[in-house]
Amino acid sequence: MNNFCKLSAHELADPTAENKIKAADIASSVISRYDEVDSRVSGFVNFDKGAVTDRAARLDNLDESCRQGFSLPNVPVVLKDNICVKGELTTCASKILQGFKPPYDATVVSRLKSAGVLLLGKSNMDEFAFGSSCETSCYGPTKNPYDLERIPGGSSGGAAALIASDQAILALGSDTGGSIRQPAALCGVVGLKPTYGRVSRYGLIAFGSSLDQIGPITKDVRDCAMLLSVIAGYDKLDSTSADVPVPDYTKSLMGAVKGMRIGLPKEYFIQGLDKGVKAKIDEAISVYKGLGADIRQISLPHTEYAVSCYYIIGCSEASSNMARFDGMQYGYRYQEANKKYALIDMCMRTRGEAFGLEAKRRIILGTYSLSSGYYDAYYLKACKVRALIKADFDKAFNECDMILTPTTPTTAFKIGEKIEDPLAMYLSDIFTIPSNLAGIPAISLPCGYDERGLPIGMQLMARHFEEEKLLRAAYSYEQNAGWKKVKPVL
């Protein structure tokens, strides 16, 4: 059987190709690849073979006139389990949303459907996107395809692992503090967090509403551009979405980086940065130098406060966003409540039993920092720090067009290694968090492997709505890097 999953989206959906591949063939390719490897990777949750087959049949039965407008015909796409699909299980990898089938489609899902994709199902994640390792899922951890004893990164770890293991061609993740880029880096794939407001959040089950952004996880930069073109753009259902025109991102890939000023923030190249990672980033910098980019040192002085600032704002918003999960309307409900306090007992036991440890930790942290008497010292102060971090970037972008950093301080760590030490875990996102606080776009793309053969990611950041610039620079590197991509052995 053909393994269509090995292709990229631009190969599969190539408009110049004479014989379009039938959705049914792609579906069976996906299913056989799933049977072959997913018991080891555990990237999927709620994978329904029958539903995939049915959807493929429906696509194949469409009139040719319907198919004309499709920009991603038959391309298999996996969605992180926090993106709502009408009538399909959407659980945020949490017991509290057991059995929940949203009555509506997220805006990105409607857009994907209009692009003619083949929806596969849901990918594993950290519960409610709380985590950096994909270990807090109620379905159990996903494994890194490059080393099954290691984490794939979090929280969109399932999506990154599925792309890396050729079980899907495109994926959508969500990124609150690096949840797309960090797993993309650790699984050797491309991940983009668009500008805040670039992609509608309608239908994304919120973690930290002012930080969350949906974005693509793909095999290469061109696929990333194609997928972004489909999902980006103003949505009247999301008040925070930006009414800014959407360029054709694939058209902007070509073009030189000659003369582009690339800033290296000195705060990102210090202690804790793994030697192997440092070496590969240095090589990438030389590639850009060779392409004629103007490399310069810059400073983002408030970087050291980003992680604490992020956890206060993110958890404060999360504590409020999580309040709706009370067993009242949907999801898991504790059934045998004490008669006298039936209501409060039901609600407390539901939340007590169905939220995982990390979710509880963040709800408590956020509740505390918003409570009267602590609000000024924590939440309000964090908002002020956030403004300083934004100002750091504004200033830096006067001196450079783009910022280059490692995506993560280390390559993938072992499953269980940091789970008992939340503070150490929180530091995995140290390089990705600042761009969420500032709302700017950032991309992670592979830049080689460490001595164990584990993927290393490089991050590029730009001004608001300058995704074109990021994609062009990333594409240019991808075409000129000179190292050979190694597929994981599964």
Partner 1 sequence: MKYTTIIGLEIHLQISTRTKAFCSCENGFGKEPNTSVCPVCLGMPGSLPVLNRQYLYRAVKTALALNCEVARRMKFDRKNYFYPDLPKNYQISQYDMPLSQNGFLEIMTTGGIKKIGITRAHMEEDAGKLIHDEGGSSSFIDLNRAGTPLLEIVSEPDISSPDEAYTYLKTLKSVLEYLDVSDCNMEEGSLRCDANISLMPAGEKGLGTKVELKNMNSFKAIRQGLEYEQDRQAKILSSGGVIVQQTRLWNEKKKITELMRTKEEAHDYRYFPDPDLNDFIIERDTVLMLKKSLPEMPRAKMNRFVKEYNLSEYDACLLTSDRRMADFMEESVKLYPKPKVIANWLTGGVQAYLNEHNCRFSQIAINAGMFVDMIRLIDSKLISNNMAKDVLEEMISSGVPAKDIVKKKGFLQITDKTAIESIAADVLQSNPKVKEDYLSGKKNALGFLIGQIMKKSQGKADPVMAGQALKKLLEAGHEGV
| Neighbouring C-beta atoms of residue 244, cutoff 10 Å | 14
H-helix or E-strand spanning residue 127:
none
396 binds partner 1 (CB under 8 A): no
Count, residues near partner 1 per rule CB under 8 A = 44
The stretch near partner 1 (CB under 8 A) out of 18-26, 72-80, 352-360, 370-378 is: 370-378
From candidates 13, 23, 106, 227, binder to partner 1 by CB under 8 A: 106
C-alpha atoms less than 13 angstroms from C-alpha of 149 in its C-beta half-sphere: 3
From candidates 55, 80, 111, 201, binder to partner 1 by CB under 8 A: 201
Residues near 263 by Cβ (< 8 Å), separated by ≥ 6?
296, 297, 298, 396, 399, 400, 402, 403, 404
From candidates 347, 403, 427, 442, binder to partner 1 by CB under 8 A: 347
From candidates 44, 100, 465, 477, binder to partner 1 by CB under 8 A: 100
234 binds partner 1 (CB under 8 A): no
Residue placing its CB nearer to partner 1 in the complex, 209 or 479: 209
Distance of closest approach, residue 104 Cβ to partner 1, in angstroms: 5
Is the link from the previous residue into 155 a cis peptide, with omega within 30 of 0?
yes
From candidates 97, 120, 232, 359, binder to partner 1 by CB under 8 A: 97
Give the Cα separation of 474 and 193 in Å (integer). 14
Distance of closest approach, residue 207 Cβ to partner 1, in angstroms: 11
Give residue for tokens 């929180």: 426
Residue placing its CB nearer to partner 1 in the complex, 83 or 189: 83
The stretch near partner 1 (CB under 8 A) out of 38-46, 71-79, 95-103, 179-187 is: 95-103
Give residue for tokens 């069976």: 28
Give the Cα separation of 181 and 457 in Å (integer). 8
Sign of CA dihedral 160, 405, 428, 199: negative
Distance of closest approach, residue 378 Cβ to partner 1, in angstroms: 11
Q: Which of 28, 29, 80, 133 is catalytic?
A: 80
Give the Cα separation of 367 and 475 in Å (integer). 43
Residue placing its CB nearer to partner 1 in the complex, 207 or 268: 207
The maximal CA–CA distance of the chain, rounded, in angstroms, is: 74
Residue placing its CB nearer to partner 1 in the complex, 8 or 210: 210
CB-based burial of residue 195 (10 Å sphere; 0-12 exposed, 13-18 middle, 19+ buried)? buried
Sign of CA dihedral 445, 475, 8, 214: positive
337 binds partner 1 (CB under 8 A): no
192: left (phi over 0), alpha (psi -120 to 50) or beta: beta
From candidates 185, 206, 430, 433, binder to partner 1 by CB under 8 A: 206
Residue placing its CB nearer to partner 1 in the complex, 96 or 281: 96
332 binds partner 1 (CB under 8 A): no
Torsion, Cα of 293, 298, 304, 309 (10° steps): -80
Give the Cα separation of 234 and 31 in Å (integer). 35
Look up 132 and say whether it is catalytic.
no
Distance of closest approach, residue 91 Cβ to partner 1, in angstroms: 10
3-state helix, strand, coil in the chain (%, to 5): 40, 15, 45
| Per-residue contact string for residues 152-171; x = within reach of partner 1 by CB under 8 A | --------------------
343 binds partner 1 (CB under 8 A): yes
Q: Quickly list DSSP for 77-125.
A: EEEETTB--TTS---TT-GGGTT---SS--HHHHHHHHTT-EEEEEE--
Give the Cα separation of 61 and 181 in Å (integer). 37
The stretch near partner 1 (CB under 8 A) out of 119-127, 202-210, 249-257, 415-423 is: 202-210
Q: Which of 28, 42, 155, 316 is catalytic?
A: 155
Distance of closest approach, residue 323 Cβ to partner 1, in angstroms: 4
Instruction: List the interface residues with partner 1, window 75-94 (CB under 8 A).
Output: 82-84, 90, 92
Give the Cα separation of 427 and 443 in Å (integer). 19
From candidates 203, 233, 457, 488, binder to partner 1 by CB under 8 A: 203
375 binds partner 1 (CB under 8 A): yes
Instruction: List the interface residues with partner 1, window 237-256 (CB under 8 A).
Output: 237-240
323 binds partner 1 (CB under 8 A): yes
210 binds partner 1 (CB under 8 A): yes
Q: What single-letter amino acid sits at 286?
A: S
Q: Which residues participate in catalysis according to the annotation?
A: 80, 155, 179
- Binding interface with partner 1 (CB under 8 A): 82-84, 90, 92, 97, 100, 102-104, 106, 201-206, 208-210, 236-240, 316-317, 319-320, 323-326, 328-330, 343, 347, 367, 370-372, 375, 379
